[in-house]
Structure 1
Amino acid sequence: MGERASNAGVVLFSAVIFLVAFCAVIGAFWVATAQVGVASLLSALVVALLVMSSVHIAQQWEKVVVLRFGKFNRVSGPGLFWTMPIIEQNTMRVDGRVRATSFGAEETLTADLVPLDVNAVLFWMVWDAKAACTEVGDFTRTVELAAQTALRDAIGRAGVAEVAIRREQLDRELKRILEEKVAPWGITILSVEVRDILLPKELQEVMSLEAQAEQRKKARIILMEAEQDICEMMDDMGDSYAKNDAALRLRAMHLLYESVRETGGTVVVPSSFSEGFGDVLPDSMKGVMGEK
Structure 2
Amino acid sequence: MAFSAFVFVVAFCAASLIGVALVGEPVVWVFLAALVVAVLAVMSIHIAMQWEKVVVLRLGKFSRTKGPGLYFTIPFIDQIALSADQRVMVTGFGAEATLTSDLVPINVDAVLFWMVWDAEKAALEVENYYNSVNLAAQTALRDAIGRASASEVAVRRNQLDEELQEVIEDKTSQWGITVLSVEIRDIVIPESLQEVMSAEAQAEREKNARMVLAEVEKDISSMLVEAADQYKENEVALRLRTMHLLYESVKNTGGTVVIPSAYSEGFSDSTLDALTESLKKR
| Amino acid aligned to 2:267 | S
1:8 counterpart residue number: none
2:24 counterpart residue number: 34
Q: What is the count of residue pairs matched by the alignment? A: 272
2:9 counterpart residue number: 19
CA deviation after TM superposition for structure 1 residue 86, in Å: 1.9
CA deviation after TM superposition for structure 1 residue 159, in Å: 1.0
Deviates more, 1:94-103 or 1:272-281: 272-281
CA deviation after TM superposition for structure 1 residue 174, in Å: 1.0
RMSD, aligned CA: 1.4
Tell me if the contact between 2:46 and 2:71 (Cα under 8 Å) persists in the aligned partners. Answer: yes
Post-superposition Cα deviations, 1:264-290, rounded to whole Å, max 9, x if no partner, equal 1112445644234332248xxxxxxxx
CA deviation after TM superposition for structure 1 residue 224, in Å: 0.8
CA deviation after TM superposition for structure 1 residue 128, in Å: 0.6
CA deviation after TM superposition for structure 1 residue 42, in Å: 1.2
Post-superposition Cα deviations, 1:99-154, rounded to whole Å, max 9, x if no partner, equal 11111111111111111111111111111101111111111111111111111111
| Partner-residue secondary structure (3-state), 1:137 | coil
CA deviation after TM superposition for structure 1 residue 17, in Å: 2.0
1:278 counterpart residue number: 273
1:247 counterpart residue number: 237
> What is the rounded CA distance, in whole Å, between the counterparts of 2:55 and 2:233 in structure 1?
95
Tell me if the contact between 2:239 and 2:266 (Cα under 8 Å) persists in the aligned partners. Answer: no
Deviates more, 1:14-23 or 1:144-153: 14-23
Given the alignment, which residue of 135, 139, 147 partners 1:157? 147
2:107 counterpart residue number: 117
CA deviation after TM superposition for structure 1 residue 233, in Å: 1.1
Residue 105 (1) aligns with residue 105 (2): no
Runs (4+) of structure 1 moved beyond 6 Å? Answer: none
Post-superposition Cα deviations, 1:59-101, rounded to whole Å, max 9, x if no partner, equal 1110001011111100101111111222112221100011111
Given the alignment, which residue of 203, 206, 228 partners 2:193? 203
| Amino acid aligned to 2:158 | E
| Partner-residue secondary structure (3-state), 2:101 | coil
| Partner-residue secondary structure (3-state), 2:275 | coil
2:48 counterpart residue number: 58
Tell me if the contact between 1:122 and 1:191 (Cα under 8 Å) persists in the aligned partners. Answer: yes
Tell me if the contact between 1:249 and 1:277 (Cα under 8 Å) persists in the aligned partners. Answer: no
2:221 counterpart residue number: 231
Given the alignment, which residue of 55, 63, 66 partners 1:73? 63
> What is the rounded CA distance, in whole Å, between the counterparts of 2:243 and 2:60 in structure 1?
104
Tell me if the contact between 1:246 and 1:277 (Cα under 8 Å) persists in the aligned partners. Answer: no
Tell me if the contact between 1:164 and 1:197 (Cα under 8 Å) persists in the aligned partners. Answer: yes
> What is the rounded CA distance, in whole Å, between the counterparts of 1:106 and 1:277 in structure 2?
82
- Using the size of structure 1 for normalisation, the TM-score is 0.89
| Amino acid aligned to 1:249 | R
> What is the rounded CA distance, in whole Å, between the counterparts of 1:221 and 1:241 in structure 2?
30
> What is the rounded CA distance, in whole Å, between the counterparts of 1:152 and 1:182 in structure 2?
17
CA deviation after TM superposition for structure 1 residue 158, in Å: 1.1
User: Structure 2 regions of 5+ residues with no counterpart?
Assistant: 278-282
1:175 counterpart residue number: 165
CA deviation after TM superposition for structure 1 residue 14, in Å: 2.7
Tell me if the contact between 1:55 and 1:82 (Cα under 8 Å) persists in the aligned partners. Answer: yes
CA deviation after TM superposition for structure 1 residue 51, in Å: 1.4
1:289 counterpart residue number: none
| Amino acid aligned to 2:176 | G
Post-superposition Cα deviations, 1:133-182, rounded to whole Å, max 9, x if no partner, equal 11111111111111111111111111111111101111111111111111
1:3 counterpart residue number: none
2:82 counterpart residue number: 92
CA deviation after TM superposition for structure 1 residue 49, in Å: 1.5
User: Structure 1 regions of 5+ residues with no counterpart?
Assistant: 1-10, 283-292
Given the alignment, which residue of 247, 263, 267 partners 1:257? 247
| Amino acid aligned to 1:225 | E
1:217 counterpart residue number: 207
